[in-house]
Amino acid sequence: MAMSLVNIIRKGKPVVSAVRRRHFHRTVPAAVQVTVRDALNQAMDEELERDERVFLLGEEVAQYDGAYKVSRGLWKKYGDKRIIDTPISEMGFAGIAVGAAMAGLRPICEFMTFNFSMQAIDQVINSAAKTYYMSAGLQPVPIVFRGPNGASAGVAAQHSQCFAAWYAHCPGLKVVSPWNSEDCRGLLKSAIRDDNPVVFLENELMYGVPFEMSDESQSKDFVIPIGKAKIERAGTHVTLVSHSRYVGHCLDAAAVLAKEGVECEVINLRTIRPMDVESIETSVMKTNHLLTVEGGWPQFGVGAEICARIMEGPAFNYLDAPVTRVTGVDIPMPYAKILEDNSVPQVKDIIFSVKKMLNV
């Protein structure tokens, strides 16, 4: 640059104007890192502020800031009438929330874990999911049931179930299962604004995980449409379809396989019901191979439904090998860590299944 300035001076050109015309390298601003917990908190905060009909209730959501601190600061900001601590009675407070939704409010009902939603399943299925149909469209039930779902760490059989397939089985419900911070923020805002009951399945192990978020995804107007999957990584050899925490496992497996010449296309379902079958079919028609990955049990699971839909649709004729499922093991979750690790999908299981499918 010094020599070029000397030449400019010798030629009698103004130095300042020459420097102004020069293009300097500009560093791209670093994307903001936001944890899943904070993304959920921001989404609820913004929707509580946007619509006075929205309120949050559940066990320890107010003064304690939530069992997992997802509702941190909301009670201090919005007070007792909109952030409500409830007794330890899921059937009771889920019923209160459903009744409030029928009366025109937009409740967010938090279960400390979706395993406890079994105490309230009559309210979720018979009261929330079926009322719009049974009233011939006269009575909507705009409610969000949210909380951690699936296996955590060291909490054994009664606190480790995945309820994605359970709730996705029921017409009248929308079932959302986000992976990263962008998913959680955009989908929770959509769920709160939706006029249908939405089951919003989070993952306890993901709450503290930070993800980069763009300026667009941090806008108050940012929403992600329910029912649309996202291609997290493009590929040509095999399609990996997953939801929640196991999308990350698929991306990790894809990175390892790429070093061996196998390019995986990774699809983040985001929504279980309604399922974006079209995106899966389009990918399978390109890759000719399909592997599903989930933390739930194999029988009648999300992967089983995907297999059936592919078999019944146009993508079946494009398959060069049978569809393969990687799932949780068909047993109640053990407590011992080594048994727990072998009861849920690991990255190595995905890699092994892909290689077996492709015969490499």
Task: Please state, in angstroms and rounded to a whole number, the distance separating the CA atoms of residues 173 and 161.
Answer: 19
Confidence bin at 17 (pLDDT 50/70/90): very low
Task: Please state, in angstroms and rounded to a whole number, the distance separating the CA atoms of residues 174 and 150.
Answer: 18
Q: Is the pLDDT of residue 191 over 80?
A: yes
Q: Which domains does the chain have, with CATH numbers?
A: 33-218 (3.40.50.970), 230-358 (3.40.50.920)
**Whether residue 312 lies in the annotated active site:** no
SS3 breakdown of the chain: % helix, strand, coil, rounded to 5?
Answer: 40, 15, 40
- Three-class DSSP category at 66: coil
Q: Is the pLDDT of residue 18 over 80?
A: no
Task: Please state, in angstroms and rounded to a whole number, the distance separating the CA atoms of residues 265 and 250.
Answer: 9
Confidence bin at 323 (pLDDT 50/70/90): very high
Distance of CA 355 to the CA centre of its chain: 27
Give residue for tokens 């993800």. 211
The mean of the pLDDT values for the chain is 93
Q: Which of 46, 59, 90, 202 is catalytic?
A: 90
User: Could you tell me which residue, 15 or 187, shows the higher pLDDT?
Assistant: 187
The mean pLDDT value for 283-303 works out to 98
Q: Is the pLDDT of residue 3 over 50?
A: no
Which residues are CB-contacts of 256 (< 8 A; sequence separation ≥ 6)? 347, 351
pLDDT of residue 26: 55
Distance of CA 293 to the CA centre of its chain: 14
Confidence bin at 31 (pLDDT 50/70/90): confident
Least Cα distance to 67 among 155, 165, 162 occurs for: 155
Distance of CA 210 to the CA centre of its chain: 14
User: Could you tell me which residue, 21 or 108, shows the higher pLDDT?
Assistant: 108
Confidence bin at 29 (pLDDT 50/70/90): low
Q: Which of 60, 159, 169, 263 is catalytic?
A: 159
pLDDT of residue 20: 47
Q: What's the DSSP call for residue 120?
A: G
Least Cα distance to 165 among 326, 275, 310, 91 occurs for: 275
Report the side by side order of strands in the sheet with 290-293: 230-233, 264-268, 238-242, 290-293, 324-326
pLDDT of residue 16: 46
CA 12, 17, 21, 23 torsion-angle sign: positive
Is the CB of residue 229 less than 8 Å from the CB of residue 270?
yes
Is the CB of residue 176 less than 8 Å from the CB of residue 272?
yes
In the structure encoding, which two tokens stand for residue 70, read together?
């997802």
Q: What's the DSSP call for residue 227?
A: T
> At residue 324, what are phi and psi to the nearest 5 degrees?
-115, 140
pLDDT of residue 238: 98
41: number of CA atoms within 13 Å, CB side?
20
From 19-23, 71-75, 200-204, 326-330, the region with the lowest mean pLDDT: 19-23
Least Cα distance to 234 among 220, 251, 218, 217 occurs for: 251
User: Could you tell me which residue, 5 or 65, shows the higher pLDDT?
Assistant: 65
Amino acid residing at 288: N
> At residue 27, what are phi and psi to the nearest 5 degrees?
-75, 135
Q: Is the pLDDT of residue 23 over 70?
A: no
Distance of CA 41 to the CA centre of its chain: 15
**Whether residue 90 lies in the annotated active site:** yes
Least Cα distance to 78 among 110, 118, 41, 113 occurs for: 41
In tens, the pLDDT along 55-105 reads 999 999 999 999 999 999 999 999 999 999 999 999 999 999 999 999 999
The mean pLDDT value for 100-119 works out to 97
Is the CB of residue 27 less than 8 Å from the CB of residue 34?
no
Which residues are CB-contacts of 219 (< 8 A; sequence separation ≥ 6)? none
pLDDT of residue 339: 96
In the structure encoding, which two tokens stand for residue 210, read together?
């930070």
Confidence bin at 197 (pLDDT 50/70/90): very high
pLDDT of residue 30: 61
